[in-house]
């Protein structure tokens, strides 16, 4: 199989995976459990949730003003979680794609130096 066919097939797999992830993030996120997540649950069970910092470090992050837990601030409640899922999925994909491109580029440069 030539490299163009391989690239096309890889691109189709990546885009299909991204599409499925976006569908899950947007359409299934509103049905997520309202129960506390794992860390919150453990802190409640072991009774140390009241010892949390008055101002958690997460509140100092630049994007804290945009997101509230798993929802988008300032957006109607019905849309807040799906939009946050969409943004989070795209951000995660972008980071993974960018890191993958850097890793491949570094690998290609190393192979070029070894073959010289």
What distance in Å separates the CA atoms of residue 66 and residue 84, rounded to the nearest whole number?
9
Query: In tens digits, what is the pLDDT along the chain, a chain of 116 residues?
Result: 678 888 899 999 999 999 999 999 999 988 888 887 888 888 888 888 777 767 777 777 777 777 777 788 888 888 888 998 999 999 999 999 999 989 888 776 666 656 65
Q: How far is CA 49 from the centre of its chain?
A: 26
| Helical spans, DSSP H, in 1-116 | 3-23, 38-45, 77-115
Nearest to 17 by CA among 87, 90, 100: 90
pTM of the model: 0.70
List the domain boundaries for the chain: 3-115
What distance in Å separates the CA atoms of residue 90 and residue 5, rounded to the nearest whole number?
26
């Amino acid at each position: 199989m030539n490299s163009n066919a391989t690239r096309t097939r890889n691109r189709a797999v990546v885009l299909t995976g991204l599409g499925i992830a976006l569908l899950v993030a947007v359409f299934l996120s509103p049905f997520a459990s309202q129960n506390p997540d794992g860390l919150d649950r453990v802190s409640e069970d072991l009774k140390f949730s009241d010892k949390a910092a008055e101002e958690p470090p997460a509140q100092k992050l630049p994007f804290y003003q945009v997101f509230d837990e798993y929802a988008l601030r300032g957006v109607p409640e019905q849309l807040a979680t799906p939009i946050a899922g969409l943004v989070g999925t795209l951000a995660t994909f972008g980071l993974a794609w960018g890191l993958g491109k850097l890793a491949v580029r570094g690998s290609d440069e190393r192979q070029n130096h070894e073959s010289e």
